[in-house]
Chains A and B, each alone.
Chain A
């Protein structure tokens, strides 16, 4: 047997897994989204999805994009502190602490947030006890803010993990060269470190965006009411009405949102590579 055939044979199990477990169901759900009961091409499911859930589509984009921006800022601050701080105690405690949310499932995080962010939850009670405001003026964060807070809390460690690794792998003397010439640590972060770890940051944020797009438990448990995320709408269409076509149409819309983000990223990558023949 030639080497090429052996190679293909070795590749086959992995290829089959992708075909059976990913491409096949994806094909079926795409097919169901675009056809009626007779199997004729139609956009009626999309029109229905649009008429029922257009607010939720915007809401989903708003929540995931806002959360991504906040995750970006938080992970930059954390990885910057861990990479540049001269306080060993601060660096050691941050390194020890920041990873914990990674090991907590979304549903547990959502449950914790319910008790933390409620009107008489731990956060408000603590602020009242500190005398920051009166019990009467405390408000519940269990709405869109709660979803964003949970997402940021849960996803920041993931992006930080990738980013801190990228910062740590930079040649230390690049940072020292900048400080030596007179750059403050903030300038070193903004002008020397961030441009070099940008590709890693973008990958982390896109993976994080896709994860947030697919979480069902957090919007269900933390916010509950309307508007909500598309995942909740999909579950509702299937569980309450057995309405797979509309759920599939919502699924395709979610694909489009994530593909759009991925396309922006890929286009940027192509441009950077075109400028840098290495």
Chain B
């Protein structure tokens, strides 16, 4: 990630909404030149509104947006010099592939020969050689999104806005295009803001991830940061820590212990950071392992339970395990029968502990 003194885009106190209802409640965001940012959030969190407000398609009610130090908040979209790639491809069906890709250059007054040369290099860069004169309606979904990407890249944008560009594609094409897009971004060095609701997509592509919740930024950080150190139960759950258990911290004979509510026999020595009172722990299913009895239980919480259901999504088995009143999901290479007793190992360093939320 190359840091430049002036941010590619700098957003301060951004507010926007539809009519009386407010969607964005003051968003601050800086993207460095050449940085790839993913905005992640569930539907209705304001991530698309944020992107559209940056692009100029949605009016802001307060705040500022500056692109390389230039204030663009008051400018119409055509004056902002950003390039956007849309979920629906948004190609123009009455033009050829080359017509679509060259349109931005035509608007900038390039000569026909210069446009043709630029398009040729883009076509080969995107693996679309020989398709320049095709109608875009004759292309597959993956090819169409490559054309849309080429159309955006043709104008050499300093900032590329990606509005869920991969979510209409089938899984295999999505994975390969994910990789290609990231490679292109590294090679060409533009800054990118990528809106997605796909956690894995955000994790694998972005230098930094922004998680939005109810029109606010809930956490900004590297993929490792947000995954390993979520700042709130919302983030923990959003990053896949769906397994919850209430923990009651106490001192017993001057030594820290933890009791798991509802599992009265589970009073364990606590080796982690010190806490007091009742908290809730969150943990990802990947972090939980199914152990043979008498394994080293150091730095872990071990729970006894039994397999309540099993699925095989490929590679590993996914189990639902009942431990008293709780259900945990976990994966394992081993085949267990339904109803078979197992022990769960919850490593303390993977447990995210927060104050228990009241509904």
Q: Is there contact, CB below 8 Å, between B107 and A182?
A: yes
Within 8 A of B (CB), among A154-202: 171, 173-174, 176-184, 187, 191-192, 195-196
Q: Among B86-94, B185-193, B204-212, which stretch is in contact with chain A?
A: B86-94
CB distance from A194 to the nearest CB of B (A): 10
Chain B residues with Cβ under 8 A from A187's Cβ?
107
- A276 within 8 Å of B (CB atoms): yes
Residues B77 and A276 in contact, CB atoms below 8 Å apart: no
One digit per residue, 1 when the CB lies within 8 angstroms of any chain A CB and 0 when it does not, for chain B 31-67 equals 0000000000000000000000001010000000000
- Given A184-B78, A196-B94, are A173 and B86 also a contact pair (CB < 8 Å)? yes
Of the candidates A181, A184, A276, A278, the one whose C-beta lies within 8 Å of that of B83 is A181
- Kindly state the separation between the CA atoms of A171 and B76 in the bound complex, as whole angstroms: 20
Residue in A171, A176, A183 whose beta carbon sits within 8 Å of that of B57 in the complex: A176
B151 an interface residue at 8 Å Cβ cutoff? yes
Chain A residues touching B, majority SS: helix
Contact assessment for B93 and A178 in the assembled complex, using a CB-CB cutoff below 8 Å: no
Interface assignment of B334: CB less than 8 Å from any CB of chain A? no
Residues of A within 8 A of B83 (CB): 180-181
B301 at the interface (CB under 8 A from A): no
Whether B84 and A183, one on each chain, are in contact in the complex, defined by CB atoms closer than 8 angstroms, is: no
The minimal Cβ–Cβ distance linking A185 to chain B, given in whole angstroms, is 8
CB contacts (< 8 Å) of A276 on chain B: these are 135, 137
Shortest beta-carbon distance from B252 to chain A in Å? 61
Q: Which listed residue, A171, A177, A192, touches B151 by the CB 8 Å rule?
A: A177
On whether the beta carbons of B107 and A181 are closer than 8 Å, the reply is yes
Residue of B nearest to A184 (CB): B78
Report the minimum CB–CB distance from B158 to chain A (whole Å). Answer: 14
Nearest A residue to B81 via CB reads: A182
Indicate if the CB atoms of A182 and B86 lie closer than 8 Å.
no
Which single member of A176, A191, A192, A195 contacts B84 (CB below 8 Å)? A176
State the CA gap A117–B22 with chains docked (Å).
51
Q: Mark B123-161, 1 if CB is under 8 A from A, else 0.
A: 000000000000101100000000010011001000000
Chain B residues with CB under 8 Å of A278's CB are: 137-138
The reply to whether B90 and A171 form a contact with Cβ atoms under 8 Å apart is: yes
- B residues near A183, Cβ cutoff 8 Å: 78, 103, 107
User: A183 vs B103: C-alpha distance in the bound complex, in angstroms?
Assistant: 9
- Find A182's partner among B90, B94, B108 (CB 8 Å cutoff): B108
For the complex, count residues of B whose C-beta is within 8 A of A: 30
Q: Which of B84, B93, B138 contacts A177 (CB 8 A)?
A: B84
Are A171 and B88 in contact, CB atoms less than 8 angstroms apart?
yes
Q: In the bound complex, how far is the Cα of B144 from the Cα of A171, in angstroms?
A: 15
Q: Separation in Å of the B304 CB from the closest CB of chain A?
A: 54
Asked if B104 CB lies within 8 Å of chain A CBs, one says yes
* Interface residue B82 (Cβ < 8 Å from any Cβ of A): yes
List A contacts of B55 (CB < 8 A).
Answer: 176, 180
A173 to B57, CA, bound (A): 10
Contact B92 A176 (CB under 8 A): no
- In the assembly, what is the distance between CA of A154 and CA of B188, in Å? 56
B78 touches A195 (CB 8 A): no
- Of the listed residues A177, A180, A191, the one surrounded by the most CB atoms of chain B closer than 10 A to its CB is A180
Is there contact, CB below 8 Å, between B155 and A181?
yes
Annotate B232-275 by CB proximity to A: 1 below 8 A, 0 otherwise: 00000000000000000000000000000000000000000000
Closest to B59 in A: A86
Instruction: Report the separation of the CA atoms of residues A180 and B155 in the bound assembly, to the nearest whole angstrom.
Output: 11
8 Å CB contacts to B: which residues of A229-247? Answer: none
Min Cβ gap B143→A in Å is 15
* Chain B residues near A192 (CB-CB < 8 A): 92
Of the residues B87, B104, B137, B138, contact of A181 by C-beta under 8 Å: B104
CB distance from A91 to the nearest CB of B (A): 15
Shortest distance from the beta carbon of A22 to any chain B beta carbon, whole Å = 36
| Alpha-carbon separation in the docked complex, A180 to B86 (Å) | 11
Nearest Cβ on chain A to B192's Cβ, whole angstroms: 14
Residue of A nearest to B84 (CB): A180
Q: Within 8 Å CB of A195, what residues of B?
A: 94
A188's nearest neighbour on chain B, judged by CB, is B78
How close is A166's CB to chain B, nearest CB, in angstroms? 13
Q: Point out the residues of chain A lying under 8 angstroms from B94, CB to CB.
A: 195-196
Whether A182 lies near B57 (C-beta < 8 A) is no
Query: Least Cβ distance of A83 to chain B in Å?
Result: 14
Say whether B57 contacts A174, CB under 8 Å. Answer: no
| Closest residue of A by beta carbon distance from B107 | A182
| Interchain CA distance A262-B77 in the complex, whole Å | 41
Name 15 A/B residue pairs within 8 A (Cβ), A-sorted: A173-B90, A177-B91, A179-B78, A180-B55, A180-B77, A180-B84, A181-B103, A181-B107, A182-B107, A182-B108, A183-B103, A192-B92, A196-B92, A196-B94, A277-B138
Give the 8 A-B residue pairs with the shortest CB-CB distance, closest first: A181-B104, A173-B90, A177-B90, A173-B86, A195-B94, A179-B77, A182-B107, A180-B84
Extra 7 A-B pairs, beta carbons < 8 Å, given A176-B86, A196-B92, A196-B94:
A171-B90, A177-B90, A178-B92, A178-B103, A180-B80, A180-B84, A277-B138
